[in-house]
C-alpha cells in the first residue's frame, strides 16, 4: 500500500512538471504597429471626426475654442520578453467642454505584425475599449469638474497558439504617477497623457497524454484518500 501511495504521488508530480515546466520566457517582436479609433458611441455624431485615424475629436467649441479629443501615439516597433509590462504607446485626452454632447465610449483598434520564436503572425483588429464619464463634486481642487476615462480591468485582446504555447496580449491599464491604473482623471479645460501598458503572457498548452497523466494522478490521490478513510473506520 505504501508503494502504491508513493507511485501515485510520483505520477502526479511528473504530470505537474510536464504540464507547467515547458512554459519558458520568449522574446516577442512587434512591428508595423498601427492604431485607429472606431466603434464610437456619442450623443451627437455630427460633431465627431477622425474615426479610422489615431485622433478623434468631438464637441462644438465656442469661437477660437478647442475640441475634446482622444489621441493615441503608438510605438513604432517593440521587442519585449513575456510576462513583462511594456508601453504600447501614449494616450492623451484633451478635455475641453463645449456645446454638443460628450462621447460615451470608443474602441482603440490595434494592428501589428508579431514575431514569436521565429513565427510571424498578423494580429489585426485587436480592440481596447475606453469609456468616458463626467464627474463633479468635492475633489480638493478649485475646478472639481473632471472626466473619468476608464479601461476594463486586465483584459486579453488577442491570443496566439504557437509551438505548444498560448500567448495572450493583455492590457494592464494607464501608467500614471509610477502606478498602473484602470482610470485616468482629467479636469475640465485640461489635458493628460499616460502610457497604455500591456503584457504578453505565455501558458503551456497541455498535450493529450500529459492531461491524461495529470487526471490519472489526481484520481489516484482521491482513491488513496478514500482507501485510508475506509481503513480507519474498520480499525475503529
Q: Dump pLDDT digits (tens) for 142-186.
A: 667 889 999 987 789 999 999 889 999 999 999 998 999 999 999
Chain mean pLDDT for the chain: 82
Alpha carbons 83 and 144: distance in angstroms, whole number: 38
Are 223 and 183 part of one and the same domain? no
Inter-CA distances, 2 with 9, 215, 217, Å = 11, 21, 16
Which of the 8 DSSP states describes residue 76?
S
Check whether residue 44 and residue 13 sit in a common domain.
no
- Residues 88 and 135 grouped into a single domain: yes
Of 146, 25, 125, 39, whose CA–CA distance to 83 is shortest? 25
pLDDT of residue 20: 45
Q: Are residues 122 and 197 in the same domain?
A: yes
Q: Are residues 59 and 99 in the same domain?
A: yes
Q: pLDDT-derived band of residue 17, with 50, 70 and 90 as boundaries? A: very low
**pLDDT category, 123, cuts 50, 70, 90?**
very high
* 62 and 170 co-located in one domain: yes
Instruction: Identify whether the C-beta of residue 201 lies closer than 8 Å to the C-beta of residue 168.
Output: yes
Residues 219 and 142 in one domain: no
What is the gyration radius of the CA atoms in the chain, in angstroms? Answer: 26
**Domains identified in the chain, total number:** 2
Task: Calculate mean pLDDT across residues 201-221.
Answer: 64
Residue with the bigger pLDDT between 189 and 107: it is 107
Q: How confident is the model at residue 16 (pLDDT cuts 50, 70, 90)?
A: very low
Instruction: Please indicate, yes or no, whether residues 41 and 139 belong to a single structural domain of this protein.
Output: yes
Residue 172 shares a structural domain with residue 220: no
Q: Please tell me whether residues 87 and 190 are part of one structural domain.
A: yes
Let me know how many helices (H) and strands (E) the chain has, helices first.
Answer: 2, 13
Residues forming a β-bridge with 17: none
- Cβ contact 91:194 at 8 Å: yes
Q: Is pTM, for the whole model, over 0.85? A: no
Q: Which domain holds residue 162?
A: 27-204
Question: Do 148 and 225 belong together in one domain?
Answer: no
138 is written with which cell numbers? 468635492
- 230 & 200 share domain: no
pLDDT given for residue 141 in this prediction: 62
| Secondary structure (3-state) at 15 | helix
pLDDT for res 179? 94
Amino acid at each position: 500500500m505504501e508503494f502504491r501511495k508513493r507511485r501515485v504521488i510520483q505520477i502526479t508530480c511528473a504530470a505537474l512538471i510536464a504540464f507547467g515546466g515547458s512554459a519558458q520566457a520568449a522574446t516577442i517582436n512587434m512591428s508595423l504597429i498601427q492604431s485607429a479609433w472606431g466603434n464610437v458611441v456619442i450623443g451627437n455624431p455630427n460633431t465627431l471626426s477622425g474615426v479610422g485615424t489615431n485622433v478623434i475629436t468631438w464637441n462644438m467649441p465656442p469661437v477660437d475654442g478647442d475640441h475634446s479629443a482622444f489621441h493615441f501615439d503608438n510605438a513604432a516597433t517593440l521587442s519585449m520578453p513575456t510576462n513583462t509590462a511594456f508601453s504600447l504607446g501614449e494616450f492623451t485626452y484633451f478635455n475641453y467642454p463645449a456645446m454638443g454632447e460628450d462621447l460615451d465610449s470608443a474602441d482603440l483598434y490595434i494592428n501589428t505584425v508579431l514575431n514569436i520564436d521565429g513565427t510571424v503572425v498578423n494580429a489585426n483588429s485587436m480592440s481596447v475599449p475606453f469609456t468616458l464619464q463626467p464627474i463633479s463634486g468635492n475633489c480638493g481642487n478649485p475646478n472639481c469638474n473632471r472626466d473619468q476615462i476608464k479601461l476594463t480591468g486586465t483584459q486579453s485582446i488577442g491570443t496566439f497558439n504557437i509551438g505548444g504555447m498560448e500567448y495572450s496580449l493583455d492590457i494592464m491599464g494607464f501608467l500614471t504617477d509610477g502606478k498602473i491604473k484602470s482610470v485616468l482623471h482629467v479636469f475640465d479645460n485640461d489635458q493628460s497623457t499616460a502610457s497604455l501598458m500591456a503584457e504578453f503572457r505565455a501558458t503551456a498548452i497541455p498535450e493529450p497524454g500529459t492531461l491524461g497523466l495529470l487526471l490519472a494522478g489526481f484520481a489516484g490521490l482521491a482513491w488513496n484518500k478514500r482507501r485510508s478513510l475506509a481503513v480507519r473506520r474498520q480499525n475503529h
